[in-house]
Amino acid sequence: MTERDLARVLNAPPWSDPFIGRLLALRADSRLAGYVFSRPHPLLIVARDESGNQVQLLPALPWPQAREVLKPVAADDAESRGAVILFGEPSAGDLAAALADGHLATLPSGASDDQVFVALHGAFEFLRCQAGAARRSELLDRYRGESAQLVEMAHALTTERKLERLFAVILEKGRHVTGAEAGSIYVVEGDALELENRTLRFSHSQNDSVSFDSQEFFLPISERSMSGYVALHQQVLNVRDAYDLPGDAPFGFDSTFDEAIGYRTKSMLCSPLFSRTGEVIGVLQLINRKAPAASKLDEGSSQSVLSFDSRSESLLKTFASFAGIALENAMLAAENEQMLAGFVRASVSAIEQRDPTTSGHSIRVATMSLGLAKALVRSDTSHSRNLSWSADELLELEYASLLHDFGKIGVREDVLLKAKKLYPYQLELIRSRFALAESSLSVERLRREVELTKAHASLEAFQLVQEEFDVGVRELANAFQSICQCDEPMVLHGGSFAAVEELSRRRFRDHSGQDHPLLLPFELAALSVPRGSLTTEEFAEIRSHVEHTYSFLSAIPWGRKLRNVPSIARAHHERLDGTGYPTAISAPEIPLQSKIMAVSDIFDALTASDRPYKKAVPLERALDILGMEVRSGHIDGELVRVFTDAAVWATVGQAKS
């Protein structure tokens, strides 16, 4: 006690001496053995319990003076919960001021030990109840906050469908709910029935303290690693210090990664991620729990790292159940997308095997259509105003372009591959007929020569018969040569058509005297085609591939996101002026994607490598023909301009490389 305190006691009112004696009585009371008593001021006794609660006992001083007495205790125990007991009768003003400052009880100056015991016991019970209520309120606020977080996280997980983005969301939300500074996700790979025969793929990682380029690697599912242990035993693993594992731990910790990035892993919390059926599909690994207020841990220090408590484990288990189902959904969606993409590619391969001469056409059209669609967004055309393609719309265009000719599988192969106006077997039949006609001429020559011999005709008569035979043979040869020329898929001039028509009127007799035409009506019709190699009926059959495509694509459940694939593919042969096929719709009704595909389809058909029925057209000539199609009202001029300005055809080479 200082000299000032001693002087204050000596000058104190007469009740101060009994108050000092009160301290000795309190310490001697066995009922209060669980409390610690101190006298930080001559006029103040402080009682403390093991929880840090404190009760201050002091005389009923004028309240401003009492505040001065209590001030040192309040400064030293700012975070402690306390109550005040006054001995004596405070004035009304002092009582009101004391009540305004907190809990207060009063005792007579000469209160008995039992009265003091009851007052102290009640004060401490009140403080304990108050502390319990505060803890419950704090826990309730925490649970409310955690519940809101879990609801928000569940929403975030269930709305994200892209696998790579979902990995980031799972890590971000999992770290947030547990206060982890870093984390990583492992995905179970492999089709083996036994979990031990599969592997864990390190898929994604996050760290608030250090930046690094993570590379994918694989781990066996075994007890040797923490993540493998968690996947194998399908249980949460909580490690206080990765560098100080229990001696009986079957797993170890590889510090190579820490050393490479300059990091210190300490506390770890790992949880399996389950599918709906309870199958382990991944492992979520959280690292280094931070204090609630910390944004990141001190670099190179593990002193501020907290262990993951039981509440963190409970929260992670709840979160992991959401995350596992979300991950399973995303993985199934990714598998479905891959399966659909594989089906589309296989379908393209199937049709190209039927017509090897057009191999690569569908892929080139799809590549150029996507290139034109993207270039259109950057252009200044009427189409580009407020134009923004979503990923699903671009995928619709890609799939429609890849499958736009699939209906050719419903076209007869001989029509599909017809390189000339006559099928090879038809030309062979004509050749045989001409050979038969020549043979008939030879038989006729021999018959006449026999008659001349019987009549002892002159040599000149024999020569005349031979000359007539030679002329007939030459005429047949020239006629067949004309047929071969007309058989080529070129523009047929009027003179050539007249020659072929004349041949159709020529006839010959076989050995039995039957009369036959050199050309049959359907052969004449085929050879009379003015352009290309197809008759009207065959061209209509080729055109029918669009409807076959539409019927085939309409039978596929594309879902809402890709529902327009059939209609986009169906309209790629429509023309702006309404003269296209199969439905003869005009510009306003034709989807923009179909107009885009039409430009790419025509360009590739012109510039593709030589085919049996046509030669490849040079680039400049192909662009000129596109311009002619624009002027004819068949295709969109703005699209052709963007196609030309952006050199969209170059994207085919880029796609190959």
Return averaged pLDDT per consecutive 10 residues of the chain, 657 residues in all.
Answer: 41 50 80 86 86 86 82 60 83 82 79 87 86 76 66 68 82 88 92 85 90 84 92 94 91 88 92 92 94 59 79 87 86 87 90 80 94 93 88 95 90 83 91 90 88 88 90 89 84 63 80 83 86 85 91 92 95 95 94 96 87 78 95 95 94 59
Residue 83 one-letter amino acid: A
Buried b (16+ CB within 10 A) or exposed e, 347-373: bbeebbeebebbeebbbbbbbbbbbbb
Q: What is the pLDDT of residue 7?
A: 40
Report which secondary-structure segment, H or E, holds 47. Answer: strand 44-48
Q: Which of 349, 363, 351 is nearest to 548 (CA)?
A: 351
Yes or no: say if 638 and 624 are a contact pair by the CB < 8 Å rule.
no
Q: Angle, nearest 10°, between helix axes 310-354 and 391-402?
A: 30
Q: What is the pLDDT of residue 15?
A: 41
Burial (0-12, 13-18, 19+ Cβ within 10 Å), 110: exposed
CA-based radius of gyration for the chain: 49
What is the 8-class DSSP label of residue 611? B
Beta-strand runs (E) in 133-179: none
Rounded Cα distance, 529 and 490, in Å: 9
Q: What is the pLDDT of residue 14?
A: 41
Q: Which of 376, 372, 354, 374 is nearest to 364 (CA)?
A: 372
Report which secondary-structure segment, H or E, holds 58. Answer: strand 54-59
Rounded Cα distance, 431 and 518, in Å: 10
Backbone angles phi, psi at 166, to 5 degrees: -65, -40
Q: Which of 300, 280, 319, 298 is nearest to 178 (CA)?
A: 319
Q: What is the number of other CB atoms lying within 10 angstroms of the CB of residue 451?
A: 12
Q: Which of 212, 245, 250 is nearest to 228 (CA)?
A: 250
Burial (0-12, 13-18, 19+ Cβ within 10 Å), 90: buried
Residues 6+ apart with CB under 8 A from 73: 40, 41, 44, 46, 54, 56, 82
Rounded Cα distance, 544 and 582, in Å: 8
Residues 6+ apart with CB under 8 A from 369: 397, 398, 401, 593, 596, 597, 600
Q: What is the pLDDT of residue 242?
A: 93
Distance of CA 359 to the CA centre of its chain: 30
Rounded Cα distance, 489 and 485, in Å: 9
Residues 6+ apart with CB under 8 A from 105: 83, 84, 85, 86, 119, 122, 123
- DSSP codes of every residue in 543-603: HTHHHHHHHHHHTS--TTTTTTHHHHHHTTT--TTS--SSS---GGGS-HHHHHHHHHHHH
The model's pTM is 0.67
- DSSP codes of every residue in 225-294: SHHHHHHHHTS-EEES-TTS--TT-S----THHHHHHT-----EEEEEEE-TTS-EEEEEEEEEEPPTT-
3-state SS, 495-535, equals HHHHHHHHHHHCEEECCCCCEEECCCHHHHHHHCCCCCCCC
CATH superfamily of 160-334: GAF domain (3.30.450.40)
* Strand 82-87 to 104-107 pairing: parallel
Q: Is residue 220 classed as helix, strand or coil in its secondary structure? A: strand
Burial (0-12, 13-18, 19+ Cβ within 10 Å), 146: middle
Rounded Cα distance, 375 and 395, in Å: 16
Q: What is the CATH number of domain 355-414+541-656?
A: 1.10.3210.10
Yes or no: say if 119 and 105 are a contact pair by the CB < 8 Å rule.
yes
pLDDT digits (tens, 9 = 90+) for 124-141: 888 888 888 877 777 676
Strand partners, 266: none
pLDDT digits (tens, 9 = 90+) for 609-630: 756 666 788 999 999 999 999 9
Yes or no: say if 361 and 194 are a contact pair by the CB < 8 Å rule.
no
Q: In the chain, how long is the greatest CA-to-CA distance? A: 184
Buried b (16+ CB within 10 A) or exposed e, 585-604: beeeebbbbbbbbbbbbbbb
Report which secondary-structure segment, H or E, holds 199. Answer: strand 199-207
3-state SS, 380-409, equals CCCCCCCCCCCHHHHHHHHHHHHCCCHHHH
Percent of the chain at pLDDT > 70 equals 88
What would the two tokens of residue 249 be? 């731990």
